[in-house]
Structure 1
Amino acid sequence: MTIAGSIFLIMLGAVLTWAVDWDVAGLDINVVGVILMLGGIALMLFGLYRVRVTREIVAPVETERDRTTVYEERRYTDPPTI
């Protein structure tokens, strides 16, 4: 959700900066668009950092027990019952 939300903010900011042509009294739409794009970029960097840190923490650790191979033999001396 973080990365998708950041892409949405970047796209919304780009539309407000370069595609909107009307003015609102007391509000500069171009500045709002630039602020949204910068916020989206910061959110994307945070999301990518969080994905990287989470993958490093969850990485499996190989132990001596994982490397041990156990063979088991069973011998059945009773005849099969039907």
Structure 2
Amino acid sequence: MSLGAGIFLFAVGAILAFAVNVSVDWVNLQVIGYILMAAGLVGIILGIVLITRKRTATSTTATGVDPVSGESVRRSVRTEDQI
């Protein structure tokens, strides 16, 4: 779930819990609103955690001499790992 979807669920839940004044016999809209707000809050927290997770970058450099031409050769490789 993305951060935007979590905010959307929280907003819809708040509207159902606090702004809608309709009574339906087979469902309690206020409870549905609270459930959507909780789901939205979980989505917001997960979205923030996924955005701020750490990544590590490793750079490896190898130098050597080309045996044919005698020139110095340098090779650089960068890898990114997710923790």
Shorter-chain TM range is 0.5 to 0.7
Question: 1:47 maps to which residue?
Answer: 47
CA distance in 1 between partners of 2:31 and 2:37 (Å) = 10
Question: 1:30 maps to which residue?
Answer: 30
Question: 2:16 maps to which residue?
Answer: 16
Task: Give the 3-state SS of the residue equivalent to 2:58 in structure 1.
Answer: coil
Q: Compare the two structures and name the one with the higher helix fraction.
A: 1
Q: Compare the two structures and name the one with the higher strand fraction.
A: 2
| Percent identical residues | 31
TM score, norm. by length of structure 2: 0.66
Larger Rg: 1
Question: 2:57 maps to which residue?
Answer: 60
**Structure 1, unaligned runs of 5 or more:** 69-82
CA deviations over 1:3-44 (Å, ceiling 9, x no partner): 000000000000001110011112100000000000000111
Runs of 4+ in 1 over 6 A off after TM superposition: none
Displacement of 1:51 in angstroms is 1.4
